[in-house]
Structure formats: structure tokens, C-alpha cells
Amino acid sequence: MQMAEPLLLIDTDIFIILSAAGLLETVIRLLGFDAEHARRLPALESQLTRGKGFQQKYPLEVRDAAFDSARSIPASNERPEDDAILQGLISCERIDDGEALLFALLVERKNWILTTGDKQAIIALASTPGLHHIRNQVSGRIACLETLLPALLREKGIKAIAAAFNPLRSINKTLSVVFSRGAATPEALCREHLDSYLRDLEKQVGEDFLLKP
């Protein structure tokens, strides 16, 4: 199989959060890519405009921001060549179909990276015995919100990042805890909570599993 061009896959949850915070382009760059080499799930736009679950979870201004960002990030129409890998992931009840597709693509494209906001899927992939062979193939190529936040803090500083995520604390538990005082959260407190989240997550997925930009 010919080596595919390096790409960054972005799952829907984190695409929405980062777009609403105005930090999507920054994260893409911190992970070593540009918008042309980033991909989102094709269903994103229809989910934002017609998905009842999305309308209940995300305020209109958050959905509008993500919809605007979707215009500049191409949708991925790739499918894994080995359907058995995809079906094995789908069979895990804690991994939804969209996340299963992204994980399966990551297995076959060894120079692709994924950033995701679905911690449940990450934990399921890394801790389910029947998926151990897949876990090992994608290890070190998955970034999540908890691993992106330290890089964002280094890049822009606590004041800018706390202010950017402040409006999103009500819809994301990690953000509500890490930025517990909103835009006025002290850096020491932010990092204390963030370190705690990371330690807990690594206990469940392994210290080698997550990508830390």
C-alpha cells in the first residue's frame, strides 16, 4: 500500500469546542498541519443544522461557529480498506460509528493523527482486551482536549485561553473544572486540575497512548 499523505483527523466533538473558542486553527498548527491537511467527518454540517441532540447540547452561537469553520476544513470521504477493523470497533458499544471510522483510518494510515473530544471512546479503545491490537497500532497518534490544553497555554497564556473557553464551560465538564473561575482562573489552579485529569486519563489508557504536542 502506498503511503498516504499526512493528515490530521478531527472528530466532531472537539471540532465544535475548538471552533467556538476560536482555537481550531491554532490547534491544527500546533499539531503540525494546516487547514488543507486537516479533515472532519462528513456528517458534521447536517448534525449541526438538523441534529436534535446537537441542538440540545450546543447553543446556537456554538453551532454557528462550528458550521463556519466547517467551510474551511474538508470532509474526509476515506473508508478503511479492511472492513473487519471497522466492524470490530463498531461492535464496542462505547465507541460510536463516527469515532470507529476515525480509529480504523488511523490504523491503516500510519502517518495520520487524530484529535478527539470523545474520552469514552479513547478509554474504550485503550482498555478493551479485544481491541488491544488496534490500540497498539494507533498509540501515540491520538490527542485529546486534556493533552491539547498544555500546548495552548504555552502558546497563548492563561488569560487568553481561559477567556476563550469561558463561554463553553457549561457544555464541557473538563473545561468547567480546569477553568473553574472562568476567565479569571489562576494558572496554578488551572494546571493543578489539568494535571489531575491527565493522570487519571493515563491510568486508564496507558502513559504511551496519548499524543502530547
Q: Cell 488569560 sits at which residue?
A: 159
pLDDT digits (tens, 9 = 90+) for 126-147: 999 999 999 999 999 999 999 9
The percentage of the chain sitting over the pLDDT mark of 90, rounded to a whole number, equals 91
pLDDT digits (tens, 9 = 90+) for 173-199: 999 999 999 999 999 999 999 999 999
What is the model's pLDDT at position 4? 72
Q: Provide the number of structural domains found in the chain.
A: 2
Is the domain of 83 the same as that of 159? no
**Whole-number Å distance between alpha carbons of 172 and 193:** 14
Report the candidate in 7, 17, 16 with the shortest Cα–Cα distance to residue 149: 17
pLDDT digits (tens, 9 = 90+) for 8-65: 999 999 999 999 999 999 999 999 999 999 999 999 999 999 988 898 999 999 999 9
What is the model's pLDDT at position 37? 96
User: Residue 79: exposed, middle, or buried by beta-carbon count in 10 A (0-12, 13-18, 19+)?
Assistant: exposed
What is the model's pLDDT at position 3? 63
**Whole-number Å distance between alpha carbons of 97 and 86:** 9
Distances (CA, A) of 40 to 75, 96, 102, 175: 5, 15, 9, 22
pLDDT digits (tens, 9 = 90+) for 100-113: 999 999 999 999 99
Question: Per the domain annotation, does 128 fall within a domain?
Answer: yes
Residue 84's CATH number: 3.40.50
Q: Which domain holds residue 136?
A: 8-145
**Whole-number Å distance between alpha carbons of 26 and 33:** 10
Is the domain of 162 the same as that of 141? no
**Whole-number Å distance between alpha carbons of 158 and 155:** 9
